[in-house]
Amino acid sequence: MDKEIRTDRIFPLKDATFYPGRDFCDIVYFCPPVEGKKRIWLMTYAKGPVVFIDHNMFKPEKIKKGSFRWIDYGITDVKLAYPRGFGQIKVYGITPQQSFDSYLVITTQTSLELSGSIQDAECILFGISRQNAGYSSINPSTIEAGNPARFTLVYKAGEKGLPRESRIRFNFPRVFARPQTESIKKDGYIRIIYNDCRIYFDGIKVPSDESHRDGDIFYFLPDGLKPFGKIEVEYRTDTTFILPVVCDVMERRYWFSNMPVLSPAVSLDNKKIFVSVSENNGHHIRFIAGKPERLHLFFPGRIRQKDTVNLIGIITDKYRNLVEEKNWKMKINIQLEGNNSKEIKDVSNYLTHRYRFCVDFKGLPAGIYRAKAYDQDTGKLIAVSNPLEIMGKNDKRQEIFWGEIHGHTEMSDGTGKFEGLYTNARNVGCLDFAASADHACYFTDNQWEWMQDITNSFNKNREFCTLIGYEWAGNQGHRNIYTSSRRLKLFRGMYEPTGNLDAVYKEFEGIKNIVAGPHTGHTGDFWRFHNRQVERFLEIYSMWGHFDKLANKILNQGAILGFTGGGDCHSGNVFFSPEDRNGQGKTAHFTSYQIRYKCGITGAFLEDLDRENLIYCLRNRKTYATTGDRILVDFSISQIKMGEIGKVEDVLIKADIHGCDTIKKIEVIRNGKIIKKEYIDKMDVVFNYEDNDIEKGKYWYYLKITQKNKEVAYTSPVWLEI
């Protein structure tokens, strides 16, 4: 099949963003980077707006008056959104009220004259308007997350029907089963169960030409379809989304547009320019959380003595989604174990939300604590908390705080409200620090101002720390960039002038309040483009899996990097992502069929919980990573602490480890090779090992700690000269 990508695009400015004090609105532009001439139009009642597409300015050349006012900005042969199709549109001289009825059009059909309503313009460009492209409904439209589904889609043509030799396209997420027409008994079976016309299966494209997250199914209608004629499609899939989400966008404006499965689009001729039905006429699908099945208990990490310590309990379905039921019937008792044992009966008295409770423990002395939850009726153990360590007054060690800084929201290619990421991180994930890393290419300059304002509003010293950050994605892979300041200069990797890392890192060299780290899984040629001054940490684990082999490789090449446990969660969360406990590495998540693990977490050694200390910690490798469990780890070699560089005569390795489950194995990695394995069978371990089999030279070491439940911790390395 030839590529079927619309090169003509319509952007409703009601979806554009304004920011106080700025005299423009902006919207993200996507169009395949087609070379050649293009024409720009704007339907608006604003007098004479000036349009910028990236750095290219366009002024009105001609105004067509009438019931609808069209401004012609002329024909241009400049490259727009080059080289990857994404760009920024800014419109100056338009008010929020005027933007509501304004539409910007970019077309390669330069000889066409646009006029009339936006529906008239769609007919001129595509042969049919979205309003007349038909109607769709689907059953079921509400599905429990992770459940298999058998969908029945009813497509009904518009009042003009479809002409001869039309085509119809239905989408499907690649997370779902790949459609097939051969066997009704196999997953993915799709068939036409009712039709008012002759209809022929015309193939499947995976991935879609317009989206790598979707595939497309095509049918050919040789005789067309009469006005309001129907086609019914049945599609079965055993795999669906494992998170609550509403899919209600019918047009694939961007590759990540959140379309429901089997969204129809029609093409009237061999050009195969597909026009989607309008949102008013289309269907939507809602995935909801399942029944309450799991309890998660969260203590802080390592803290100094204080009057009150909170234990948070979160109730979820089997995929770690917050339950929607208002009532859960299980009676839960809490048993605190440690230097001061306590019992709390019936936590329903401590509810703060329908899915959350908070128990206060007062006056706890120094020591290690864990909380266990039991079913009050059966006595069955339900959950065990992470270890809490309370330090004595004379303890000089740093506190350990928990956080995660690589999450995506609806502001780029994820779902979930941007502010919801921080609310969830603080109240549900029970994190001490958090950051979004939405893709810079997928949001606008005005949106970035709002995003920074929101991030700043959540930052509270000693309570909850947030960092300003984003993900740069360009010619040398993906990098996440953060600052402790209230503003961060924005660079977009899909914008040609800043498509190379040199342009980004030259700006940030020598600035101590900025840090960057590669997005493992999309690292590119790391060593060739590495900048030691800016790039200071590596996600050794994320929702893409384990990257200790990559870490070993680049450390042996001379990199000096700390480790973090990352996410790349695309559901508006950090750390507390959806997960399939029995499908780690197998079960796909939402926007990417390649993301198949749960989110990790980072432990940070901080003098105090604030932005400056957190950036210092990330820059100076005072972090370690886990696959999600909050395992407490202190690691040093001959008194040289985790992340440090030093000279020693003897290599005396020491680690204090407090697990969330039984520690099964500790591995010592030296210069990329395992030099020691020790098998353990307890939750609290003091590990000592002297490396005698070594000559003078330079070495690096880190520990890999594995629990019985297969959760893993990676310490940041220690670099030694002997």
End-to-end Cα separation, the chain, in angstroms: 62
CATH of residue 72:
2.60.120
Residue 349: domain span: 294-395
Same domain, 485 and 407: yes
Q: Is residue 570 part of a domain?
A: yes
Tell me whether residue 616 is in a domain.
Answer: yes
Residue with tokens 């959540």, as numbered in its chain: 458
Please report, as a single letter, which amino acid is at residue 317.
D
Q: Which of 592, 607, 628 is the last residue of a domain?
A: 628
**DSSP 8-state assignment for residue 587:** S
Q: Label residue 440 by pLDDT band (50, 70, 90).
A: very high
Q: Are residues 145 and 264 in the same domain?
A: yes
**Residue entry with tokens 């169960």:** 193
- Tell me, yes or no, whether 3 lies in a domain: no
Clarify whether residues 267 and 303 are in a common domain. Answer: no
Q: Both 145 and 102 in a single domain?
A: no
3-class DSSP assignment, residue 635:
strand
For 695-706, the pLDDT digits (tens) are: 999 999 999 999
- Please name which of 167, 142, 173 lies closest in space to residue 155, comparing C-alpha atoms: 167
**Rounded (to 5) percent helix, strand, coil in the chain:** 10, 40, 50
Same structural domain, 567 and 709: no
Instruction: For residue 4, tell me if it sits in a domain.
Output: no
Q: Do residue 112 and residue 175 come from a single domain? A: no
What pLDDT score was predicted for residue 343?
93
- Report the domain count for the chain: 5
Does pLDDT of 1 surpass 60?
Answer: no
Q: Which residue has the higher pLDDT, 528 or 602?
A: 602
**Last residue within a domain, chosen from 101, 126, 151:** 126
- pTM value is 0.96
Residues 273 and 318 in one domain: no
Give yes or no for a contact between 528 and 667, defined as CB atoms under 8 angstroms apart: no
How confident is residue 327, by pLDDT bands cut at 50, 70 and 90? low
CATH for 320: 2.60.40.1930
Q: Residues 116-148: pLDDT tens digits?
A: 999 999 999 999 999 999 999 999 999 999 999
Please tell me whether residues 157 and 110 are part of one structural domain: no
Digit-coded pLDDT (tens) for 270-316:
777 899 999 999 999 999 999 999 999 999 999 999 999 999 999 99
Q: Does residue 544 lie in a domain region?
A: yes
Angstrom CA distances, 699 to 556, 563, 592, 647, stand at: 9, 17, 38, 10
Tell me which residue of 422, 642, 655 sits closest to 537, measured CA to CA: 642
Answer whether residue 1 is part of any domain: no
Considering the domain boundaries, does residue 530 fall inside one?
A: yes
The answer to whether residues 638 and 604 belong to one domain is no
Q: Are residues 408 and 550 in the same domain?
A: yes
Q: Enter the tokens of residue 9.
A: 């695009």
| Residues 6+ away with beta carbon under 8 Å from 564 | 405, 517, 537, 538, 539, 540, 600, 602, 618, 623, 625
155 within some domain:
yes
Q: Choose between 603 and 527: higher pLDDT.
A: 603
**Together in a domain, 582 and 504:** yes
CATH number of the domain residue 669 falls in: 2.60.40.10
Q: At what angle do helices 418-427 and 445-458 cross, to 10 degrees?
A: 20
DSSP bridge pairs for 682: 663
d(CA 473, CA 488): 16
Q: Which residue, of 126, 144, 161, is where some domain finishes?
A: 126
- Note the pLDDT tens digit of each residue in 557-616: 999 999 999 999 999 999 999 999 999 999 988 777 888 999 999 999 999 999 999 999
Give the C-alpha separation, 300 to 321, whole Å: 22
Is residue 117 located within the same domain as residue 178? no
Residue ranges in 572-636 assigned as alpha helix (H): 611-619
Contact call for residues 658 and 387 (beta carbons, < 8 A): yes
